Amino acid sequence: MSIPPFFLLLILTIYSHLSVTNSKEAGLGIFPKIPRNAPDSQSQEVDVSTDSDRNILYFDQNLDHFTFTPKSYMKFQQRYAIDSKYWEGAKANAPILAFLGEESSLDSDLSGIGFLSENGPRLKALLVYIEHRFYGKSLPFGSAEETLKNASTLGYLNAAQALADYAAILLHVKEKFSAKHSPVIVIGGSYGGMLAAWFKLKYPHIALGALASSAPLLYFEDTRPKYGYYYIVTKVFKETSERCYDTVRQSWEEIDRVAAKPNGLLILSRKFMMCNPLNGTFALKNYLDSIYATVAQYSNNFYSVATICEAINSPPNDKDDLLGQIFAGVVSFMGNKTCYDTSLEPTNAYMAWKWQRDGHEKEDTMFQTKPFNMSTFTEECEVNYGVPPRPHWATAYFGIQDVKLILRRFGNNIIFSNGLLDPYSAGGVLEDISATVVAITSKYGSHCQDIVFKSREDPDWLVIQRKKEIEIIKSWISTYKRDMRDLNISV
């Protein structure tokens, strides 16, 4: 059965959401969405407001940047953070490093993103972190319940509004610090990496350059890559262990076979130690799907395809029990628990991101194929939100149909960094577009690995990659300051 073009409308369209009847790929985010050996770690925000060198601030942000109706003048409090301890000052035209938030809270970014604070001293930079509207504490309509209620509020959640938010805050920061000529480098990861690249294109008068880490800029209906997200997940598993790959591939039919037996769902519930009895196979398959996708996407010292495959290949009990092997992989990834919950309540961040995303294909992979039906998806949007999707809005607004030509003709000073083990690299910019729009790829890299905090276990190639990124950014700043001298522009 042929499958229609693969959508990741992320963004961004004013009227789109994740079709929960399709795939559940690991989130387009910097941090894993499924905890490992720490069931509460992902649901609790880390309080980073006590950092004495960092100021947590709120900006009176416009609800709507693009219309002039009375409601568009409504304000909401958008959270951001500033760290000025490394900054050389406005008189030196010292740079500003700005992290553009993604589908996560500011707290998560401050506690997980190391690129700014680790390179601030080297660049003598002012550090700015901005929370994305509708996430964390930047809720336009007060409570999460009101903000995420329906299309009348969610309609203000899209990439265009988010970029305008960032522009307003960065101009405010420059004015506050009298830093009119301080060059701004925007940084983002995953969806935030897309925002960083788009910000450079849409607001070139504000951003000198952009580092877009693991940004699947080409992952749209009109520009989708030949091989998609699940193809790379499958490739990583197959290259790690053919036996593991075969076991996972065969497990879906085995789940269906057992489920069809009398009391089959009860058997599966006990086999996988479910906290609640299964009402069907979807929840279990979705749970397993998410684990495989997450372990591939974030494969590193903590999340390893090799580790989960070792568990699947060598279960503690019967090695001929196919589902027992699969459960051994679950335990390896999730840790030993009294039971495993496939029905966790969605977080506010997930509910917001659900509005922004779409479904994926799974043809020619180790996953079960489930065709995407645009008519069904449209019906679901209208039932859930009262509005239809706009499948071509993002490609038209950001010029994605001919993105490489647009980047060559109109773009400059953008780094696209991708780890080729990351399934989202399928939609990444993997080749240099021009002398100033460059791609840095790492054969063994995972999702956003270059912008999170350094570790003693970091491989040499990652250390070299980060150094290369900084050298490129320093060259942008040097050229900018030379241009200022040539034009006789003073502070």
- The residues annotated as belonging to the active site are 190, 422, 447
Structure token digits, residue 257: 């076979």
Paired with 418 in beta bridges are 441
Distance CA 441, CA 468 (A): 11
Q: How far apart are CA 345 and CA 143, in angstroms?
A: 17
For residue 162, what are its two tokens? 């988010």
How many CB atoms sit inside 10 A of residue 486's CB? 8
Supply 66's token pair: 């693009």
Q: Where are the beta strands (DSSP E) in 132-266?
A: 184-189, 207-213
Q: What is the 3-state secondary structure (H, E, C) of 324-339?
A: HHHHHHHHHHHCCCCC
Tokens 């080729």 — which residue?
A: 420
Q: Within 10 A of 276 (CB to CB), how many other CB atoms are there? A: 12
* Two structure tokens written together for 242: 């053919």
Nearest by Cα to 154 from 270, 12, 329, 52: 12
26 close to 386: Cβ distance less than 8 angstroms: no
Tokens 């799907």, residue located: 289
C-beta of residue 295 within 8 angstroms of C-beta of residue 334: no
> Is the separation of the CB atoms in 219 and 130 below 8 Å?
no
Q: How far is CA 192 from CA 102, 297, 315, 319, 419, in A?
A: 5, 16, 39, 43, 16
As a whole number of angstroms, the distance between CA 62 and CA 161 comes to 9
Helical packing angle, 322-334 and 282-297, nearest 10°: 50
Alpha-carbon span 42 to 111, nearest angstrom:
12
Q: Give the residue among 159, 141, 146 at the shortest CA–CA distance from 16.
A: 159
